[in-house]
Amino acid sequence: MIICLLSACGKDVHESVSAVRKDSDKVKRISKYENEAIYGVYHLMGSNNEEIVQLVKQKGFVDKIDMMVIIDCKEDKVIEIKILNHKESEDYGSLLTEEWFLERFKSKSAAVPLKLVKMSAKDENQVVAITGATITSKAVVDGVNLCMNNYHRIKGE
- How long is the chain? 157
State residue 97's pLDDT score.
95
Contact 95, 130 (CB under 8 A): yes
pLDDT of residue 19 exceeding 80: no
Tell me the pLDDT tens digit for each residue of 77-117. 999 999 999 999 988 899 999 999 999 999 999 999 999 99
State residue 143's pLDDT score.
98
State residue 15's pLDDT score.
78
Cα separation values, 85 from 7, 16, 55, 67, Å: 23, 11, 11, 7
- Select from 45, 51, 60 the least CA-distant residue to 81: 51
Say how far apart CA 57 and CA 73 lie, in whole Å. 22
- Global pTM value: 0.88
